[in-house]
Amino acid sequence: MPVFISMLLAAFIFSPIWPLGTNPMPGDPFVIVNKQTNEVALINENRVQTVVSAATGKSEELTPEGLFTVTVKALDPYYRKKDIPGGDPNNPLGSRWIGFDAEDTDGRIYGIHGTNDPSSIGKKISQGCVRLQNEAVESLYDYIPLGTKILVTSTSKDFTQLGKEYGAIRE
């Protein structure tokens, strides 16, 4: 094989640029939302660190699928639709907001957030966001910096397999 083709092939294989967007670098955090199981996994330091139960969209199309980027984070987020300040027990966004750029939005429409309705976790019930127990989103919040990649999918594959496919777990 000519040297040029070998170098080109090696550059593509080891490049952080993939057809689905920037590939996580080894050790970078990576979040996977599985709508089929209503679970969220944090992959960090080359392994699945934790898996928590979630609530997702009432219908399949409400929670968009794809590879996205965290663009906004907020402590005690303000709920604009009903003018409810952060920290208010009636705020449906709970104690944290981790927004991502689904459907060409700015991270203020779709996100992973807490909830004031813990009984909704594990169900397909939201208007599109991914809900977690407040304790769960609080424990993940500091491990998910701006720029973190989030994969939203509906699959029977396990989180380790998905992490390997997207380069977040390297053997």
Query: Shortest CA distance to 71 belongs to which of 51, 99, 47?
Result: 99
**pLDDT of 8 over the 70 cut:** no
Residue-range domain boundaries for the chain:
35-166
CB–CB of 60/155 below 8 Å? Answer: no
Amino acid (1-letter code) at residue 114? G
Residue 103, both tokens: 């459907």
CB–CB of 120/113 below 8 Å? Answer: no
Is 2.40.370.10 the CATH number for 35-166?
Answer: no
Residue 5, both tokens: 């083709």
CB–CB of 7/14 below 8 Å? Answer: no
pLDDT for residue 31: 98
Within 10 angstroms of residue 11's Cβ, the number of other Cβ atoms is 10
Its pTM stands at 0.85
Instruction: DSSP letter for 79, please.
Output: B
CA–CA distance, 124 with 110 (Å, rounded to integer): 15
> Higher model confidence: residue 145 or residue 5?
145
Q: Is 105 exposed, middle or buried (0-12, 13-18, 19+ CB in 10 A)?
A: middle
Active site residues: 113, 129
In the numeric block, the tokens 């970078």 are attached to 28
CA–CA distance, 119 with 6 (Å, rounded to integer): 55
pLDDT for residue 146: 98
51-84 residue pLDDT tens = 999 999 999 999 999 999 999 999 999 999 999 9
Instruction: DSSP letter for 84, please.
Output: B
pLDDT for residue 171: 83
**pLDDT of 16 over the 50 cut:** no
